[in-house]
Structure 1
Amino acid sequence: MYVADQTWPELGDYVAEESVAIVPLGSTEQHGPHLPLATDHLIAEGLAREAADRTGFLCTPTVNVGVSPHHRQFHGTMWVDAPQFRDYVESMTRNLAYHGIDRVVYVNAHGGNVQHLREVGRRLRDDGTLYAIEWMWDESIPDLVEEVFEYNGPHGGPKETAMIQHLAPDLVREEKLDAARDGGVRDVEAAEHLQKNGARIFYDAAENSENGVFGDQTDATAAVGERLFEAAAEQLVELLEWLDDRRLDDLLAPAHVDPQPGSRRE
């Protein structure tokens, strides 16, 4: 169920019986010469809508701009600073709590959002508002991703390329796949300039990839993208159903261990 397509009485019927919501989040940032800036939020929205269709749970509009300053040197990249992103997502989630939602899955497709969504979830849980968790699609199917690609990459690589070939094939510049591979970092594990003596010595993608991407994009196909999408969607559905079955009290922050502070004071 997509919230923006419903009327308010229909949503009243929903929250009278259900309390789960799905919030997709991505970014609008460079993904090399072959993929659109919309890559992350297209993947997040596609998976969130699919899971909502399969489960009947509520899906909100997508947050299309995320924490992406590390891609700012590339044309078109948009970002918000981390504190403003956290506050925005927290405020939006509190809106859901006001209407009766008490558990949320942030369906995320941008690595730069991860730590900030985790922090928002902690804030909301610790004050007893609701239980919110971050879910990253590729982290739900790591074995499959490793199986299908010889040279994977964390950004603009074959996994994201395959997903967009499946979800929005008209937006993939197929004639640029070779250039994406040759102008980027094909083998991330062999890239010596990514760290030194155990320290990450870079802050921006432009410091280690000329065209902003990593991995071998020529390994990607729409068929592989469909496999990834279906596998990740199944993982998300299972997570949502697990979450729906939990008692809210069991999800919120546990009490301080005994003895309770002040319990022996007179």
Structure 2
Amino acid sequence: MYLADQAWPELSDYVAEESVAVVPLGSTEQHGPHLPLSTDHKIAEGLAREAADRTGYLCTPTVNVGVSVHHKQFHGTMWADAPEFRDYVESFSRNLAYHGIDRIVFANAHGGNQTHLREVGRRLREDEVAYAVEWMWDESIPGLVDDLFETNGPHGGPKETAMMMHLDPENVRTDELEAARDGGLVDWANSDEAYVHGARNFYDSIDNTENGVLGDQTDATPEKGAELFDAASEQLAELLTWLDDRRFADLMAKPHVNPQPGSRR
């Protein structure tokens, strides 16, 4: 069920019985010369809506702009500063809780959002408002990603390229795949400049790659994208079902160990 397509009486029927929602979050940022800036938020929305269709749970509108300042040198990249992003996500999560949603999955497709979504989840849990978890699509199927691609890459690489070939093929510039690979950094994990004596020696994407691409996109196909999409959607659907089966009290923070502070005063 997609929240924004419903009339309010229809949503009242949902919250009378259910308390779970999935929130897709991505970014609007450069993904090299071959992929659109919409890559992350289109992947997040596609997976969240598919999982909601499979389970019947509620899917909210997508957060299209994330924490992407590390891509700022490339044309068109938009970003929210981290504190404002966290406050925004927390605010609408509390809105959902007001309407009876107390379990939330942040279906995320942008690495820059991860730390901040987890912090929001901690805040909501500490206040016993809701239990919210961050879910990153590729981290739910790491074995499949490794099996499908010889040289992956965390940004603009073959996994994202394949997913977009499946979800939004008209906006994938297939004639730029070789240029994306050749102008980027294929084996970024073993770069001598990325990590120096144990220190992460970069802040922005452009510090590693002139065209904003990491990985080898040339072995991406729509068929591989469809396989990734189906597997990740199933993982998300199973997470939603698992969360729905938990008692809310069991999801909250555990009490302080005994003896309780001040109990012997």
Shift of 1:189: 2.8
Displacement of 1:251 after TM fit? Answer: 0.3
Match of 1:45 in 2: 45
Q: Distance in 2 between matches of 1:17 and 1:109?
A: 29
Matched, 1:33 2:33: yes
1:61 & 1:259 partners in 2: Cα distance?
46
Alignment of 1:52-67 (within 5 A): 52-67=52-67
Letter matched to residue 229 of structure 2: F
Within-5 A mapping of 1:201-220: 201-220=201-220
Query: What aligned pairs does 1:188-227 form with structure 2 within 5 A after superposition?
Result: 188-227=188-227
Aligned-partner SS, 1:40:
helix
The aligned runs of 1:134-145 (5 Å cut-off) are 134-145=134-145
| Aligned residue in 1 for 2:262 | 262
Partner residue in 2 for 1:104: 104
Q: CA deviation at 1:83?
A: 0.0
1:162 alignment partner AA: A
Deviation at 1:143, TM superposition (A): 0.6
Gaps of 5+ in 1: none
Q: Secondary structure at the match of 2:104?
A: strand
Q: How does 1:127-166 map to 2 (within 5 A)?
A: 127-166=127-166
- Look up the SS of the partner of 1:192 in the other structure: coil
SS at match of 2:64: coil
TM-score, normalized by length of structure 2? 0.99
TM-superposed CA distance for 1:161, in Å, is 0.1
Distance 1:205 1:17 in 2: 45
Name the residue aligned to 2:116.
116
CA distance in 1: counterparts of 2:96 and 2:140, whole angstroms: 25
Deviation string, structure 1 residues 175-230 (Cα, Å, up to 9, x no partner): 00000000000112332111100110110000110100111100100000001011
Tell me the amino acid that sits aligned with residue 242 of structure 1. Answer: W
Q: Does 1:70 align with 2:50?
A: no
Q: Output the amino acid matched with 1:7.
A: A
Distance 2:140 2:34 in 1: 25
Deviates more, 1:188-197 or 1:138-147: 188-197
Rounded Cα–Cα distance in structure 1 between residues aligned with 2:17 and 2:259: 38
Aligned residues: 265
Aligned residue identity for 1:258: N
Residue of structure 2 equivalent to 1:81: 81
Name whichever of 251-260 and 98-107 sits farther off: 251-260
- Cα deviation code 1:125-150 (max 9, x no counterpart): 00110100000000000011011111
Give structure 1 regions of 4+ aligned residues with deviation exceeding 3 angstroms. Answer: none
Q: How far off its partner does 1:262 sit?
A: 1.5
Counterpart residue identity of residue 220, structure 2: A
- Output the CA distance in 2 between the equivalents of 1:241 and 1:70: 35
Secondary structure (helix, strand or coil) at the match of 1:257 reads coil
What is the SS of the residue equivalent to 2:193? helix
Equivalence map 1:8-23=2 (5 Å): 8-23=8-23
Corresponding letter in the other structure for 2:17: E
